[in-house]
Amino acid sequence: MADQKRMANYELLRILAMVMVVVLHFLTHSDCLISLDQSLDSVRILGTLLEFFCLVAVNVYVFISGYFGVNSSFKPSKAVTLLCQIWFYALLIPLVLSAAGVPVVAWEEGRLNLYGLVQYVFPIETEHYWFATSYFMLYLLSPILNTAVRNMSKKQLQIMLGGLLVLFCIIKSISPIPFVTDRYGYDLSWFICVYLVAAYLGRYGFPFMEKNGWAIYVGSCLAGFGLHLVAWVVCQRWTSFQYYSSVPFHYNFIFCLTGAIGLFYGFSHIQIKEGRMAQLIRKMGALSFGIYLLHEHIDVRTLWYGWISGIVNPTGVRGIGTFIWELFCSIVLIFAVGMIIDGIRSKLFLGAAAALGQTRAGRKLKELDGFFAIRS
C-alpha cells in the first residue's frame, strides 16, 4: 500500500509473516496442537509454542500496510491489480486440478455445484479467501482512513483508538464467554483497528516499543502460550472455561497485537545494505501474497499437507524429528512452487498492463489514480 521504494527490512518481515502463515496452516492440518481432549506430548507442546510465535503474522501484514500506507496515495489501479491477482488463482487452480483429475468444489458426483462455481467467480463476496476479502476491502477504505488520520489531532486519535481497542480487543481478551459480534480478528473491523494503530504509530511513534521490540514480541508470545497452558489445565477439571482456552489464539487477543507491534519494531533495527540481496528480498516480498492465494485456495487448502507428508513421511511416523522435517519441507516446497507461479503471474500481469495502458480503459484508470494523489 505504499508508494515509496519499499524498505528491504520490512519486505523481509513481510516474507517472514507469510512463512508464519504457512506454519500456522501446517500445524492445523498436521494435528500438532494442544487439544483439550488429548494428553500433552512433546510434539503438541512444541507445535503450540511455535503457533504462538507465528500467530502475529496476520496482524503484522496489516500493520505494515497501515504504518506506510497512511502517507501513501490510494490507487484504483492497485485495487484492480489485487482483484485480478485473486481471480488468477481462484479461477486457474480448479481448471488445472480438474485437468489432473483432482476433485474440485465446483463439481460433486459429476454434477455442477453452483455455489462452488460462485466461489471462484466472486472470491471477495463469498470469502473464498477470508484474509484476501478483508485485505481488499481494507485497501478500498484506506483513502478514508488515511484522510481521517492525517486530519485528526494526536489526542483525537488516541481517544478514538482507545475506544476501538477496548471494544474490539481488550474486553474480549478477558471475557470468559464469546461475544456475538466477535469474529476473533478474522474480519474487516479488526483489520481497520490494526491499520489505524499502525498509522498512528507511523505518525507519532512509541519510543518504549521502538527500543524494546524484540522483548515485547517474545514476551507477548510466551505470555499467550503460558495462558493457554493454564487454561488447558483448568479445563481438565472445569469445562466451563473451554472457550477461554481458545482466546489466546485469536488475532484480536491483546498479546497477539502487542506481539505483532513488537516484531515490527524489532525488524526496524535490522539493516540491509542496498544491493542484490535487498533487490531479491523486495522481489520475494512482492510475490509473497501469491503463496497465500495458492495454498489457501478452497480446492487446495485441505489437500496440500497430505500431498507433502505422503512424499516426505510416507509411513506416517510421529515424533519431534518427523515434525521438524515435515514442517521444513512444507515451507520450502510451498514457497518454491508459490514463488515460481506468482513470478510467472507477475510477468503476465506486467505484459497485460503495458498493453492495456494504451487503451482507453487503461488511460481512464490511470486518470482515476491521479484523483487520489496526495498533493503537498
Tens digit of pLDDT for each residue in 84-139?
999 999 999 999 999 999 999 988 767 788 888 999 999 999 999 999 999 999 99
> Is residue 375 domain-resident?
no
Q: How many distinct structural domains can be found in the chain?
A: 1
> Is residue 190 domain-resident?
yes
> Is residue 133 domain-resident?
yes
> Is residue 257 domain-resident?
yes
d(CA 8, CA 363): 31
For residue 107, which phi and psi values (nearest 5 degrees)? -125, 130
Please report the DSSP string for 34-102 in residue order. Answer: --TTS---HHHHHHHHHHHHHTTHHHHHHHHHHHHHTTS---HHHHHHHHHHHHHHHHHHHHHHHHTT-
> Is residue 371 domain-resident?
no
d(CA 97, CA 298): 12
What is the pTM assigned to this prediction? Answer: 0.94
> Is residue 355 domain-resident?
no
CA 174 remoteness from chain centre: 24
Please list the ranges in the chain whose pLDDT falls under 70: 1-4, 109, 375-376
> Is residue 372 domain-resident?
no
Q: Are 43 and 318 in contact (CB under 8 A)?
A: yes
Beta bridge pairs of residue 107:
112
CB atoms within 10 A of CB 15: 19
Nearest to 24 by CA among 56, 60, 61: 56
> Is residue 363 domain-resident?
no
Exposed/middle/buried for residue 76 (C-beta within 10 Å: 0-12, 13-18, 19+):
middle
d(CA 146, CA 199): 8
Structural domain that includes position 308: 8-350
pLDDT given for residue 241 in this prediction: 83
pLDDT given for residue 4 in this prediction: 55
pLDDT given for residue 148 in this prediction: 95
Rounded to 10°, the helix 213-235/254-267 angle is: 150
